[in-house]
Amino acid sequence: MIKKRQKAFTLVEVLVAISVLIIGILSGLLLVTRALYNVAIVKDRLTASFLAQEGIELTRQIRDSNFLRILNGESIDWNYGLDNGSYIIKSNVEGGQSIQLASYNPSEVPNFFYDNDLKIYNYTDGDQTNFKREIRITNITDNDEIRVESIMKWKTKSIDFNLTVEDHLYNWMKL
């Protein structure tokens, strides 16, 4: 009598297959979890970089407004309002007021608020955020160059972050 050998999985083969599947599923789950964790960090870094660049641009606007005021006959320096020190930028978007730097102690810089209706960051209205921006101005050479640093500080997932953007503004019109 010839015995037919049955083709079936042994218990060891089943355990190995299940182990491989579990490792694959857990690896994918770990990857998704890590990606979701990093989304908040990347989002806040991107927001901070935009706010830091905005600080530089608004400071540049003060310098350019000074150039226009000089060309219109006012007797002011090109760097009027851009003295050495640490500042925050105050402006009223709806009121059409000019941009102004408000002097602040670096340890007392207030947090930004986010206004959901206007979709802007400001210092007065909306929900408080974790972002703080300090504008640090330093006169460099013979009254023809200033260094502007826009320093962002924030906390995401209980980790402290900071970002510094630096630019140099010049009296290129020699006014």
Q: Is residue 54 part of a domain?
A: yes
Q: Is residue 1 part of a domain?
A: no
| Tens digits of residue pLDDT in 23-53 | 999 999 999 988 888 998 999 999 999 999 9
State the pTM of this model: 0.79
If phi > 0 it is left, if psi is from -120 to 50 it is alpha, else beta; for residue 96 that is left
Q: Is residue 5 part of a domain?
A: no
Angstrom distance (rounded) from CA 50 to CA 67: 26
List the domain range (segments joined by +) for residue 40: 12-170
Q: Is residue 145 part of a domain?
A: yes
Q: Is residue 80 part of a domain?
A: yes
Q: Is the pLDDT of residue 168 over 80?
A: yes
Q: Is residue 73 part of a domain?
A: yes
- Report the number of distinct structural domains present in the chain: 1
